[in-house]
């Protein structure tokens, strides 16, 4: 069965998006610094393996999954020499049938949640796959980022930041083919995680300077220098278009140094 991204050139999408890509790396690396080296790491929706170089050194065994055979084929060719990587073609919903319960130390989910229709089911799955005390690095698109909030205020919707319901879009990737795309209120995701027995350890606002004209004028390295120091403080006001969270599954020996 074909997947949405089998008919979409996702690697090309990332051309010219070095700032966004490296902003995400800053957030992920900051979280990894708080996590002990792990035996088993799982990335859900890994695509062609864009983020593998960021985390591969942190685990003895890496599992990447994606519904797209096309993208996984690219990942398989790119990391052919890496015997520690296992590749599984699967939707997120079916992973419970392919990966054993309580067998994973760390799960990474980046640019995936916006396609998930049933958040409760997804967080139950993640909880099931993680060992007690296991970690989750989660990214989601922020419904109430600054630009969206200003736009809603301009239209007279002054309660927008308080509206916790999800905003639904549809991305057209090919004629008559649409991919569900949802933006989430940070309070909703935090609530869902806590409801699913996760402890939120840290949050970051990511891609905070994602403005085309600024990216053309200011060197990327300087933007990333600013990004590094803005991510933590701007998280508390939900500033950026993308939110990253580090969470931990409640369980035996799951001491947490910092919670939000």
- The per-residue pLDDT for range 69-98, each reduced to its tens digit, is 999 999 999 999 899 999 999 999 999 999
Q: Quick one: pLDDT band at residue 169, thresholds 50, 70, 90? A: confident
Backbone angles phi, psi at 244, to 5 degrees: -115, 135
Task: Report which of 54, 20, 33 is spatially closest to residue 206, judged by C-alpha positions.
Answer: 20
Is the per-residue pLDDT at 255 higher than 60?
no
Q: At what angle do helices 220-235 and 18-32 cross, to 10 degrees?
A: 50
Q: Which two tokens stand for residue 154?
A: 């301009």
Class of domain 4-249: alpha beta
Q: Which DSSP state fits 4?
A: G
Instruction: Return the percentage of the chain with pLDDT > 70, whole number.
Output: 92
**What are the angstrom distances between the C-alpha of 209 and each of 35, 147, 167?**
27, 11, 22
Beta strands in 91-226 (DSSP E): 104-109, 130-141, 167-174, 177-183, 198-206
Q: pTM for this structure?
A: 0.93
Assess contact for 142 and 241: CB atoms under 8 A: yes
- The pLDDT value recorded for residue 7 is 85
Backbone angles phi, psi at 159, to 5 degrees: -95, 5
Angle (CA) 151 184 4, round 5°: 105
Assess contact for 181 and 165: CB atoms under 8 A: no
H/E stretch holding 225: helix 220-235
- Rounded to an integer, what distance in angstroms lies between the CA atom of residue 204 and that of residue 186? 11
Assess contact for 81 and 53: CB atoms under 8 A: no
Q: Are strands 85-89 and 167-174 parallel, antiparallel or unpaired?
A: unpaired
């Amino acid at each position: 069965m074909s997947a949405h991204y089998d008919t979409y050139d996702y690697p090309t999408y990332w051309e010219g998006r070095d700032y966004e890509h490296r902003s995400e790396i800053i957030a992920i690396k900051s979280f990894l610094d708080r996590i002990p080296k792990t035996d088993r790491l799982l990335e859900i929706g890994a695509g062609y393996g864009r983020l593998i170089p960021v985390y591969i050194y942190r685990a003895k065994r890496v599992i990447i999954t994606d519904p797209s055979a096309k993208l996984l084929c690219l990942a398989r060719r790119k990391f052919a020499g890496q015997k520690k990587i296992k590749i599984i073609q699967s939707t997120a919903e079916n992973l419970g049938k392919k990966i054993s319960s309580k067998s994973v130390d760390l799960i990474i989910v980046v640019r995936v949640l916006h396609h998930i229709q049933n958040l409760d089911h997804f967080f139950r799955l993640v909880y099931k796959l993680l060992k007690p005390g296991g970690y989750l690095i989660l990214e989601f698109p922020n419904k109430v980022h600054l630009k969206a909030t200003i736009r809603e205020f301009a239209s007279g919707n002054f309660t927008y930041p308080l509206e916790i319901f999800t905003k639904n879009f549809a991305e057209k990737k090919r004629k008559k083919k649409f991919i569900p795309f949802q933006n989430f209120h940070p309070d909703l995701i935090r609530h869902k995680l806590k409801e699913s027995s996760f402890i939120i350890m840290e949050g970051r606002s990511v891609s905070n300077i994602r403005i085309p004209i600024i990216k053309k004028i200011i060197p990327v390295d300087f933007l990333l220098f600013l990004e590094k120091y803005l991510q933590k403080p701007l998280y508390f006001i939900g500033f950026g278009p993308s939110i990253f969270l580090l969470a931990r599954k409640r369980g035996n020996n799951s001491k947490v140094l910092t919670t939000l």
